[in-house]
Amino acid sequence: MLTVEDLTVAFGPTTAVRGVTLHAAPGTVTGILGANGAGKSTTLLGIHGRVPRSSGRIVLDGQDVTGHDTRALVRAGLALCPENRRLFPGLTIEDNLLVGAHGQGRKVRRQRLRGIYDRFGWVHARRAEPAGRLSGGQQQTVAIARALMSDPRLVLLDEPSSGLSPVAVDEVGEALRDIARAGTAVLLVEQNVRLVRQLCSTAWVIAHGEITAHGTVAELFAAGAVSDAYLGKATVPPDSGS
């Protein structure tokens, strides 16, 4: 279980995230929904210690990990799959995966690779190819697999469906469902409403850096909170960007 309390992140005079409190439970996919610029990515980066926080407490399975740097957070079980993938295109698929298990012994790394290859057969078949040769959807799958190489208890995912074809979105969705079924908590930032409806049990709605609603996805849609988040308070129309 992840608990984030009172997370605030400012970039100079701009407070991108203000007093965000949220939870994500094991075995479920929890959504973070909101318009472009609402503070979704900054929330994930703040949780993962990639941007300086002005306030905030991060607790993972009862362990306070607030002071941990990114490497220690990964060791504690918190993995981040950032926006726009970020595979190393010149490295092989396997070497990209191994980056996710950095610092582990050879035996553990081999074990985890085997787990990934069992789950994604085509990744095994193409493991020696440069990652840059994969399609967008395939690269996203490898990026998710790389996050899994740290054997996380919680995965933070930032818009995994961005730029993918409907078929590739379904593949990514299937992979995320499997990950949650295996007992991992997934915290998902996603603008693809269909994917949110399919995957997320509950979601947090964020607007202008603050949480404005929380509930089951069905409740949020029924209450209009989701359309408010995407349309009503958007500074940029949601179909003009990612």
Sheet holding 29-33, edge to edge: 78-81, 154-158, 185-189, 29-33, 200-207, 210-216
> Minimal distance in Å, beta carbon 32 to ligand ATP?
8
Select from 201, 145, 205, 218 the least CA-distant residue to 175.
145
**Interaction site with Mg ion (CB under 5 A):** 41
The reply on whether position 36 binds ligand ATP by CB under 6 A is: yes
The reply on whether position 34 binds ligand ATP by CB under 6 A is: yes
Size of the site for ligand ATP (CB under 6 A): 12
The reply on whether position 40 binds ligand ATP by CB under 6 A is: yes
> Minimal distance in Å, beta carbon 45 to ligand ATP?
7
C-alpha 177/C-alpha 189 separation (Å) is 15
- Number of neighbouring beta carbons within 10 Å of residue 36: 15
The reply on whether position 48 binds ligand ATP by CB under 6 A is: no
**Beta pairing class for 55-60 and 200-207:** unpaired
Contact yes or no for 235/214 (Cβ under 8 A): no
Query: What is the sign, positive or negative, of the torsion defined by CA atoms of 133, 29, 69, 109?
Result: negative
Candidates 29-37, 66-74, 146-154, 216-224: pick the segment binding ligand ATP (CB under 6 A).
29-37
Q: Between 11 and 122, whose beta carbon lies closer to ligand ATP?
A: 11
Candidates 32-40, 87-95, 165-173, 195-203: pick the segment binding ligand ATP (CB under 6 A).
32-40
**Beta pairing class for 55-60 and 210-216:** unpaired
The reply on whether position 49 binds ligand ATP by CB under 6 A is: no
C-alpha 29/C-alpha 26 separation (Å) is 8
User: Token digits for 191?
Assistant: 């603008």
> Minimal distance in Å, beta carbon 196 to ligand ATP?
13
> Minimal distance in Å, beta carbon 10 to ligand ATP?
9
Choose among Mg ion, ligand ATP, none what residue 38 binds, the Cβ cut-off being 5 to 8 Å by kind: ligand ATP
For binding to ligand ATP (CB under 6 A), which residues are involved? Answer: 11, 14, 16, 34, 36-42, 241
